[in-house]
Structures are given as C-alpha cells and as structure tokens.
Amino acid sequence: MKKSLPQHLIQKIRQAYNCSADELPLYSGRCERLLELFASAFPDTTPVHLVRAPGRVNLIGEHTDYNGYPVLPMAIDRDFVFVIAPSTDATVELVNEDPRFEPRTFGVTRPLTPYGQGDWGNYVKAAVNGILQEGKVARQKAVGFRAAVGGNIPESAGLSSSSALVVASALAFLAVNRVPFENHSLAELLAHGERYVGSEGGGMDQAVSLLAKAGAALKIDFFPLRTEAVPIPKRFSFVVCNSLIRAPKSEEIRYAYNRRVVECRLAAALLSKAVAQRTGTKIDTSLLADLSPEKLALDPRDINRIALKVIGRESLSLADVSRRLERSVESLRNDYCKLKGGTILDEPGDSFQLWKRYRHVVSEARRVGQAVDALRRGDISELGRLMNESHASCRDDYEISSPELEVLVSLARKLGALGARLTGAGFGGCTVNAIAGEHTGDFISKMQQGYYHGFTKRNANRDFIEVENLDSLIFRCRPSGGAGVLSLR
Ligand code: ADP
Ligand code: NG1
C-alpha cells in the first residue's frame, strides 16, 4: 500500500536537501518507498523515525585528514535513508531495498564479531560497536532497532558510501536508545569506530556527513575537530564523474591506503627528531600537522630543508629508518606500522616512499587554505587551478591516480572544466570538476559523449562498473545539509 509522508516531514525533507518544490518528489518518493519496504518486512511494527546521512565529495585536501591537516569537502544529495523503529529484543534487524545487500540481524548485548570482509552489515556493527565501547549506551540495557535501508551513493567510488552508512546506523542506534549527542564528538567517535572494518581512515567523512551545512562546503580541522561552513556561490557548479573503476577497500586498496598512513607516520617521526635536534625542544609525534611551520614557529623553507636532509629523496626500508632514528626495527613496527586490531603492516617490496608522501601532504595542506580563500572571494578560476595542482600532487607524489582517472581529468579540462581532480581515497572511483554554472549541462553531455559512450575496457583485470544509468555516473552535486533524524509521528 502506498505510504504518504506527513506534511511537517515534507518541509524538513525540503530543508535537508535544499531543494525546490518541483524537485521534492525525487526525494520524498524514496522515503515513501522505504516506508513501504518497512511495512512489508516488519508488518507488526510501526516505524518511528526517518534517519538520513549524506555522502560527500571532497573538493580539495586529499589524504590530509589522518595527518591532522584540514580538508574541504561538501555533503552531496546522495545519501542513506533508514526508516526505523526500536526492536523489542536487543537485536538490530536490517532489510535493504537493494537485493544485492541481504538482510542482516545481530544482537547488541554481546561483543560484536564482524561478518566476512566487505559485508555491508559490518558498517552498521562498526557504529553500534563504537557507541557501546565508548559507553554512550550501556551494553546490557541497549535497545536494538529494525530498519528499512536505502542508499544511492555510488559505492567504492570515493564518495564515502561507507561512512554515510556508519553515520546513519549510529543515529538510528542513538535515537532508539534516546541518547542525546553532540555532533562533533559523535563524528570523532565514529572516525575511530569505522576502523572496525580495517582501514586507518581519517575523520573527514563522518564529520562532513554529520556537520555539513546546505549550500556550503565544510572546512574541517582535526585534533580537536573544528568545522567552518564556506558558502558555495550559486554560479559555481561541481560535477562528479565516475571513472567506472571500482575502488573497494578490499585487500589491495586497503593495503595501499594503510601503507600511506604508515609512510606519513614514519616521515613525521624522522622530521620530529631532526626538528628537536635543531631547536632543542623535544617533540615526539607521528602526526605531520604537529610539525607545521605555524606550530613550530619556523619558516616553511627551513622545515623543508630539514625534512629533505633527514628523509632524503630515495625510498627507505624500515632498517634505514631505524638507523636514522637510532631505534630498533621492532619498536618502529610497534609504534608506526601497527593498524587497528593490532596487525602490523607488511613492509612494501619497493620500500617506503617518505619524501614524496611528505611533499604531497604539506603542499596539499597549503592548497586547502588557499582554496578556502578562493571560494570565499568567489574566484572559481583560482579554485580550479588549485584543484589541478592537487591532482598532479596526488598522481605524482601520493601515487593514487589511475589511467582512467587521468583520461577523465584531461578530457574534462579540454571540455571546459576550470579544475579537475580525483576525489576521495583514489586508485579509481570519481573525479570532481569545477565548472562555471552556465556550462554545466553542456559539460555533462560532452563528457557523456567523450568518456562514457566510447568507454572501452582497456585492462580486463580491472573491476569495472557497467555503464547503465548515466545519471548515477556523472552528475552535478548539490551541497546538501548534514545527517539528521526526523520523527515520523
Ligand atoms: P566508499 O568510498 O564508497 O566509502 P568503501 O569500499 O570504503 O567505499 O565502502 C563501500 C561499502 O559500503 C560497500 O562494499 C558496502 O558494504 C557498503 N555500501 C555502500 N552502499 C551500500 C548500500 N546501498 N547498501 C548497503 N551497503 C552499502
Ligand atoms: P574514501 O574516499 O571514502 O575511501 C578515505 C578516508 C578519508 C580520507 C580519504 C582521502 C575512510 C573511511 N575515509 O575516503 O578519511 O583519508 O580517503 O582523503 O577511510
């Protein structure tokens, strides 16, 4: 039976998506479908809340978050929506509108063992586990929930479908347990909580999903988490293009991501020792942002010189780093190579690339500050220039681009993008393109023609997405508001 939404909810949905009355059915229709799914899966239960958590596109500031440096993402109008009600028996019961994701049920009063790697239920467990471990909800008194789940964020594409799922799950669990929370501390809790799935991610995705403001990008600083909305002029347009290469955080990509986290920690350890020797102050950190020119009150050129001297341009083995730090390889493994859950990252066959990683992170951090200024001034050309520089640094120094992403960015620039860069973790996934608003339609249709219609599978070993619905592969992002819980009553 068709379920319609109460009027007060329709108004709130309009606000959340920052949409016009004409566009409303697109969003409200989804909620209605989920109400129907809930009714058929749980016929004896009345739904109580609607939970929404958006994905994001990162405009600039890639792989800076776990180094303590800022980022500049915006939440997008692709999200997770849950229709929920409390359960009566301390279990979480999930049905998903997408049949690829099978129903999941788990109890919340016992320690939560993960499902197999890559299982969607792990992101829900990650949220519940994080909240229980922090003692926000007492395990023995915890109430579970029943949820009809719908998500339309392209997955494994650098648009943070996983974190949006974690955030929606956390809000659902807190809502049924009637636990109040503060968004900044919840974002910090969930950034740690998501490591339950095995990658050492930073805190950008959970923070923007929870704290975004409609119509704006969000500058995020870390340790402690601080956010500042930076309005996006209406004449700017940001278009996402999917490279058609899936970048799931399964074995290979997870290793490549975690490896970079470890490389940055080792670079910070070397640099902090050298700076301490030079200034006579003891600094013991594995966070590059603790060694910024502002924090050290040193000229950036001085720090750069010290870094080049202590790190050097060549790749380094753990044994090399151990000699330079005068510490055992074993202690370095424990202090810098340990991942969540205690596993130690294997040393890469081609050794660690510390100089390139360091150079990317500090230059990217500088670009984020400049990009915030450009956005505030309404200078889209300058923002685009910084995005192009960021892409080059991600490709050459951080080595997270792919042949398909390269084709996409160069085509986009030829077709009028003022800036084009990979977005998110990289290794595939999407690009983000800065376009002058009036050219958006033209840009999208030319990109469809140039990339998607002519796409050939160059390398049969890659994990491709089939070109079916172009609207989910190339689209203009609407800067949307952060996650929330709406009452259905
Ligand atoms: P991303 O960059 O999108 O966060 P990840 O590879 O880290 O990519 O996470 C993607 C995972 O999130 C998927 O493998 C799946 O488990 C989960 N996921 C994404 N979309 C959905 C969905 N609509 N329903 C259920 N789970 C989803
Ligand atoms: P995506 O693109 O969602 O996998 C990851 C990290 C971010 C950040 C970016 C790179 C997670 C959950 N997210 O994002 O924290 O480091 O890569 O900028 O691991």
* Distance, CA of 410 to CA of 9 (rounded, Å): 43
Half-sphere exposure of 110 (CA within 13 A, CB side): 6
Closest atom of ligand 1 relative to the 160 alpha carbon: 4
| CA terminus-to-terminus distance, the chain | 19
CA of 291 to the centre of ligand 2 (A): 22
Token couple for 254: 């997870």
- Beta-carbon neighbour count of residue 326 at 10 Å? 7
Closest listed ligand to the CA of 78: 1
118 lines ligand 1 (CB under 6 A): yes
Q: How confident is the model at residue 456 (pLDDT cuts 50, 70, 90)?
A: low
Q: Closest residue (by CA) to atom 13 of ligand 2?
A: 201
CA of 81 to the centre of ligand 1 (A): 14
* Distance, CA of 9 to CA of 28 (rounded, Å): 9
* Cis peptide bond upstream of 224, omega within 30: yes
Ordered DSSP codes for 373-403: HHHHHT-HHHHHHHHHHHHHHHHHTS----H
Closest listed ligand to the CA of 257: 2
Nearest to 209 by CA among 484, 464, 22: 484
Name every residue whose Cβ is closer than 8 Å to that of residue 362 and which is 6 or more positions away in sequence.
Answer: 69, 288, 292, 300, 304
Residue 129 above 90 pLDDT? yes
* Distance, CA of 296 to CA of 283 (rounded, Å): 10
Largest separation between any pair of C-alpha atoms in the chain = 73
160 lines ligand 1 (CB under 6 A): yes
Q: Closest residue (by CA) to atom 15 of ligand 2?
A: 202
Q: If phi over 0 gives left and psi between -120 and 50 gives alpha, with beta otherwise, what is residue 36?
A: alpha
132 lines ligand 1 (CB under 6 A): no
Closest listed ligand to the CA of 154: 1
**Known catalytic residue at 205:** yes
Burial (CB count within 10 angstroms: exposed 0-12, middle 13-18, buried 19+), residue 228: middle
CA of 6 to the centre of ligand 2 (A): 36
Closest atom of ligand 2 relative to the 199 alpha carbon: 19
Residue 17: its pLDDT value, please? 75
Residue 455 above 80 pLDDT? no
162 lines ligand 1 (CB under 6 A): yes
CA of 340 to the centre of ligand 2 (A): 15
Closest atom of ligand 1 relative to the 154 alpha carbon: 3
Residue 460 above 70 pLDDT? no
Which of 51, 120, 240 is the pocket-test mutation for ligand 1 (most atoms within 8 Å of CB)? 120
Write the single-letter amino acid at 189.
Answer: L
pLDDT digits (tens, 9 = 90+) for 235-279: 999 999 999 998 887 778 999 999 999 999 999 999 999 999 988
Residue with tokens 């829900």: 124
Q: How confident is the model at residue 457 (pLDDT cuts 50, 70, 90)?
A: low
What burial letters (b/e) apply to 45-81, b meaning 16+ CB within 10 Å? bebbbbbbbbbbbbbbbbbbbbbbbbbbbbbbbbbbb
pLDDT digits (tens, 9 = 90+) for 315-333: 999 999 999 999 999 999 9
Residue 461 above 90 pLDDT? no
Tell how strand 430-436 and strand 236-242 pair up: antiparallel
3-state secondary structure of 153: coil
* Distance, CA of 211 to CA of 103 (rounded, Å): 29
DSSP H stretches of helix in 194-328: 204-211, 251-279, 293-296, 300-311, 318-325
Residue 349: its pLDDT value, please? 93
- The pTM is what? 0.95
Write the single-letter amino acid at 248.
Answer: P
pLDDT digits (tens, 9 = 90+) for 209-241: 999 999 999 999 999 999 999 999 999 999 999
Catalytic residue among 205, 290, 320, 397: 205
CA of 71 to the centre of ligand 2 (A): 11
Residue 274: its pLDDT value, please? 95
Residue with tokens 């239960």: 45
Q: How confident is the model at residue 458 (pLDDT cuts 50, 70, 90)?
A: low
Which of 52, 92, 96, 156 is the pocket-test mutation for ligand 1 (most atoms within 8 Å of CB)? 156
Residue 8 above 60 pLDDT? yes
Closest listed ligand to the CA of 103: 1
What is the overall mean pLDDT for the chain?
A: 93
What's the residue count for the chain?
A: 489
Residue 118: its pLDDT value, please? 87
* Distance, CA of 244 to CA of 451 (rounded, Å): 10
Stretch 453-471: mean pLDDT: 68
Q: How confident is the model at residue 283 (pLDDT cuts 50, 70, 90)?
A: confident
Residue 199: its pLDDT value, please? 79
* Distance, CA of 211 to CA of 60 (rounded, Å): 17
pLDDT digits (tens, 9 = 90+) for 77-95: 999 999 999 999 999 999 9
pLDDT digits (tens, 9 = 90+) for 388-444: 999 999 999 999 999 999 999 999 999 999 999 999 999 999 999 999 999 999 999
Residue 459 above 60 pLDDT? no
Cβ contact 421:383 at 8 Å: no
CA of 104 to the centre of ligand 1 (A): 15
242 lines ligand 1 (CB under 6 A): no
Closest atom of ligand 2 relative to the 257 alpha carbon: 17
Residue 1: its pLDDT value, please? 54
* Distance, CA of 180 to CA of 409 (rounded, Å): 44
CA of 192 to the centre of ligand 1 (A): 17
350 secondary structure, DSSP code: T
Write the single-letter amino acid at 251.
Answer: E
